[in-house]
């Protein structure tokens, strides 16, 4: 096996990130100021991958129009998953488009190039059908856990995988499933043979099928332990943590990574404004007189922060405007949001409703979805969620969840 083609699974919506995913898929949400999927592609390119197929589905036009046919001189192919029936089903859609061994990653989780490289290198030196990236993490209860036989370490540094458990709750010694898989073509048969759950074919279930089919002397699934950046946004407030992780890891403003910078040369920052690093300020942003921005403020392209405003530990997506004398702490704002003059988002912790669940004491001041607007002097209770195209009238107080296209009066 000389090389691995990469397949990026980017067809899902990201239901738990609603209402941000109302009009775009999770892979296109901002990691600081860059789409999550763009960060994923960067890591693949830096790991030496030169052939990438992206599986698209929900709001696929947003992905394809953003990236086009190439990314950093690497050709991109797109395959559409017309019906979202799980990650295994998504992978099966590329069966005719790829040839030989392949590397599979999720388009909505940022994984370090070291993890990608370690999995690819280890797989070349094993006879397994699947090689999985493993990470040491203290708590894997919200993700995928993997049990391995550490006594059977081979020369490639891999160990047999003995069980995969989604969201484990027991106290066994799990490794975190990094979502990086090097696979042989036999995986497609395993997907077909594994039993679907709730009507979906899961890639994890297919790999579990291979584990069950393994002989003791010839494990079909092995894992390799790695290290490096791994971040996932499951819920809206996680976007704040993703931004922090990227900034602290040096991925933002790293001269060795093309296209990244902490403050764009095209940004306009008034001489009396205060920028408290670390921050990320993208192209064509404006920061007005007396404004205080940072630390850990991420301003997407064409964001305007007017005079006397404070923005701290927030992710403000493209074309958002924060009017004068507002206070914005621990806020996630979608595209085209307007926060009015004198409005206050005091920061978390707060209770946040996602679907039919309430998450207590999350560090989220407020979530404002695309094109939400307030008319000024609005106060947001911690954990407030404002749907797309909603309007909050001047002087109102926002608590809980405001539905899409709703008007909130004072």
In whole angstroms, give the CA distance from residue 316 to residue 185.
42
CB 25, CB 58: distance < 8 Å = yes
Contact 342, 376 (CB under 8 A): yes
Cα–Cα distance measured from residue 88 to residue 36, given in angstroms and rounded to the nearest whole number? 21
Tokens encoding 27:
């892979």
Say whether both 12 and 160 belong to one domain.
yes
Give the DSSP per-residue string, 304-350. Answer: EE-TT-EEESEEE-TT-EE-TT-EEESEEE-TT-EE-TT-EE----E
pLDDT category, 224, cuts 50, 70, 90?
A: very high
Beta-carbon neighbour count of residue 346 at 10 Å? 16
Following CA atoms 82, 87, 88, 92 in sequence, which dihedral angle do they give, to the nearest 10 degrees? Answer: 40
What is the reported pLDDT for 258?
A: 42
Domain limit, last residue, from 197, 232, 267: 232
Say how far apart CA 110 and CA 258 lie, in whole Å.
17
For residues 386 and 352, the answer to whether their CB atoms sit within 8 Å is no
Shared domain check, 156 and 82: yes
- 105 and 62 in a common domain: yes
CATH of the domain at 107: 3.90.550.10
- Note the pLDDT of residue 261: 56
Reported pTM = 0.89
Please check whether residues 361 and 273 belong to one and the same domain.
yes
DSSP letters, 39-50, are: HHHHHHHHTT--
Q: Are residues 281 and 171 in the same domain?
A: no
Q: Are residue 217 and residue 97 in the same domain, yes or no?
A: yes
**Cβ contacts of residue 90 below 8 Å, gap of 6+?**
9, 11, 55, 57, 81, 84, 203
Query: Tens digit of pLDDT for each residue in 255-285?
Result: 455 444 589 899 999 999 999 989 999 999 9
Using 50, 70 and 90 to split pLDDT, how confident is the model at 66? Answer: very high
Domain count, the chain: 2
pLDDT band (50, 70, 90) for residue 289: very high
List, for residues 369-401, the tens digit of each pLDDT value.
999 999 999 999 999 999 999 999 999 999 999
Give 253's pLDDT tier (boundaries 50, 70, 90). Answer: low
Is 247 inside any structural domain?
A: no
Q: Do 75 and 162 fall within a single domain?
A: yes
* Cβ count near 65 (within 10 Å): 8
CA–CA dist 344, 347 (Å, integer): 9
pLDDT tens digits, residue range 93-134?
888 878 888 999 999 999 999 999 999 999 988 889 999 999
Q: What is the CATH number of the domain that holds 289?
A: 2.160.10.10
| Residue 62: predicted pLDDT | 93
Flag whether pLDDT at 245 surpasses 50: yes
**CB within 8 Å of 339: residues ≥ 6 apart:** 320, 321, 322, 323, 326, 328, 331, 333, 345, 368, 374
What percentage of the chain exceeds 90 in pLDDT?
60
How sure is the predictor about 84, in pLDDT bands with cuts at 50, 70 and 90?
confident
Shared domain check, 158 and 281: no
Q: Is residue 293 part of a domain?
A: yes
Is residue 60 within 8 Å of residue 14, measured between CB atoms? no
Output the pLDDT for position 83: 85
Give CA–CA dist 308/326, Å, rounded.
Answer: 7
Contacts of 46 (CB under 8 A, 6+ apart): 113, 257
Backbone phi, psi, residue 409, to 5°:
-105, 155
**pLDDT interval class at 3 (50, 70, 90):** low
Q: Is residue 150 pLDDT above 70, yes or no?
A: yes
Q: Is the pLDDT of residue 199 over 80?
A: no
pLDDT at 68 over 80: yes
Residue 31 above 70 pLDDT?
yes
Residues 227 and 114 in one domain: yes
> What does the alpha-carbon distance between residue 360 and residue 352 come to, in Å, rounded to a whole number?
7
Q: What is the pLDDT of residue 217?
A: 67
Domain boundary residue, one of 232, 265, 280: 232
Query: CA angle, 332 as apex, 338 and 346 as ends, to 5°?
Result: 85
Residue 192 has pLDDT above 90, yes or no: no
- Whether residue 249 lies inside any domain: the answer is no
Q: Which domain holds residue 183?
A: 5-232
85/218 same-domain check: yes
105 & 175 share domain = yes
The C-alpha angle 356, 9, 331, rounded to 5 degrees, equals 45
Q: What angle do CA 337, 343, 347 make, to 5 degrees?
A: 85
Rounded to the nearest integer, the mean pLDDT of the chain is: 90
């Amino acid at each position: 096996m000389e090389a691995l083609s990469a397949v990026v699974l980017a067809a899902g919506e990201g239901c738990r990130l609603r209402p941000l995913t109302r009009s775009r898929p999770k892979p296109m949400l901002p990691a600081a100021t860059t789409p999550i999927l763009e960060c994923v592609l960067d890591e693949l390119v830096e790991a030496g991958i030169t052939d990438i197929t992206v599986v698209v589905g929900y709001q696929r036009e947003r992905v394809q129009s953003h990236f086009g046919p190439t990314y950093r001189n690497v050709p991109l192919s797109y395959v559409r998953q017309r019906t979202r029936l799980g990650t295994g089903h998504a992978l099966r859609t590329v069966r005719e488009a790829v040839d030989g061994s392949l590397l599979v990653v999720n388009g909505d989780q940022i994984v370090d190039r070291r993890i990608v490289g370690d999995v690819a290198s280890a797989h070349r030196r094993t006879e397994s059908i699947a090689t999985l990236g493993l990470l040491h993490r203290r708590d894997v209860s919200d993700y995928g856990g993997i049990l391995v036989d550490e006594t059977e370490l081979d020369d490639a540094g891999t160990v047999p995988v003995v069980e995969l458990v989604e969201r484990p709750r027991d106290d066994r010694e799990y490794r975190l499933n990094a979502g990086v898989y090097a696979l042989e073509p036999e995986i497609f048969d395993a997907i077909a043979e594994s039993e679907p759950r709730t009507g979906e074919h899961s890639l994890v279930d297919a790999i579990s099928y291979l584990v069950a089919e393994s002989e003791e002397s010839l494990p079909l699934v092995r894992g390799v332990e790695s290290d490096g950046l791994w971040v996932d946004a499951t819920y809206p407030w996680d976007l704040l943590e993703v931004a922090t992780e990227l900034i602290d890891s040096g991925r933002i403003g790293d001269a060795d990574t093309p296209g990244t910078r902490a403050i764009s040369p095209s940004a306009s920052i008034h001489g009396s404004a205060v920028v408290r690093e670390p921050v990320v300020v993208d192209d064509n942003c404006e920061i007005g007189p007396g404004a205080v921005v940072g630390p850990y403020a991420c301003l997407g392209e064409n964001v305007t922060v007017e005079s006397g405003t404070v923005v701290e530990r927030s992710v403000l997506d493209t074309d958002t405007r924060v009017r004068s004398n507002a206070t914005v702490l621990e806020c996630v704002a979608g595209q085209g949001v307007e926060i009015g003059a004198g409005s206050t988002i005091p920061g978390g912790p707060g209770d946040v409703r996602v679907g039919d669940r309430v998450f207590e004491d999350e560090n989220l001041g407020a979530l404002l979805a695309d094109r939400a607007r307030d008319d000024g002097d609005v106060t947001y209770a911690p954990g407030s969620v404002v749907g797309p195209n909603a309007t909050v009238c001047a002087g109102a107080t926002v608590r809980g969840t405001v539905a899409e296209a709703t008007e909130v009066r004072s």
